[in-house]
Each structure stands twice: as structure tokens, then as C-alpha cells.
Amino acid sequence: CSVCTSPLVVMEVLAQRRGLVSTMKICCTNTECGKESKISDPYSPESKSFNARSVLAMREFGRGRTYMDSFFGMMDMLPPVSAPSYMLHSQALADASMSAANDNMIAASAYLHRLKGVEPDDILDVKVTCDGTWSR
């Protein structure tokens, strides 16, 4: 400790855990000194991002929260986000994905209309590939 030179310990505040992120503190072992410093914050934007990335990883694998719970248990990790929180993260990811897809399709349509030199409201006959094969 910088105040009393006693040893320090790292502690987890379980009551402040959010999903995979916990509050960690460095505390002085001398109870009369009482010096402590918080070294992580589960309420920070980075923490929310970490939990969202864990949900995204499971969605990328084609798995849901039940598998996430089993996987984290097998790996001896902290339990994942709660079911309601998992659903909120999943919905936010789905909304962002749909928005990006729509923006991309609108931009592609505008590009093709400019390329063909036609009005934006005109219907074009173009070939589109979705899965690596050409289609009419």
C-alpha cells in the first residue's frame, strides 16, 4: 500500500457483476488504512460492448443462450448475460444488421442506376448473386 506499506489484494465485487464483466478492486489488507481503488467498471461502455460481443459470437456460431450457458460452464467461465439481456443484445444486433443491409442495398441500387444512366425510379434488369452462384 502506498499509504501504510501493507500488502494489497485484488477483490471482485460480486454484487456489481454484469454478464461477463465484474467490478474489481485493489484493497489494502490493513483494515485501519482502508485504501482501495476500483480497477474495472461493469457499467462502462466497454463492458456493454464486451457482453454484446459474446452474444454476437454465439449468434455467429448459430447457437443461442442455452448453448452459451453450457459452453461457459464447460470452460469454467463466469455465467453469461441473463436471458432478458441476451434478447436485448440479440435484438440490437439484428436491428443493426438489418439497417446495414438496407443501407447497402439502397447504395447498390443508386450506383446501378447511375451506371446505367437511368432515373432512380426506373426498374432495372440486373443479375444478382447471393450465394456465389449467378441468378436471373
For the stretch 63-92, pLDDT in tens is 889 999 899 888 888 788 889 989 998 999
Average pLDDT of the chain, as a whole number: 84
**pLDDT, position 23:** 80
pLDDT > 80? residue 104:
yes
Q: In terms of C-beta distances under 8 Å and separation of at least 24 residues, what long-range contacts does 9-18 make, across chains too?
A: 10/39, 16/42, 17/42, 17/78, 18/42, 18/43, 18/47, 18/51, 18/81
92-103 tens-digit pLDDT: 999 999 999 899
Higher pLDDT, 32 or 114: 114
Q: Contact at 8 Å (CB) between 83 and 65?
A: yes
Condensed to tens digits (0 to 9), the pLDDT of residues 11-33 reads 888 787 777 777 888 888 888 88
pLDDT at position 11, please? 84
Q: Which residue has the higher pLDDT, 88 or 134?
A: 88
Residue 133 above 70 pLDDT? no
pLDDT given for residue 96 in this prediction: 92
Which of left, alpha, beta for 63 (phi over 0: left; psi -120 to 50: alpha)? beta
The reported pTM is 0.63
What distances in angstroms separate CA 55 from CA 10, 20, 61, 67, 133, one per listed residue? 28, 11, 10, 11, 31
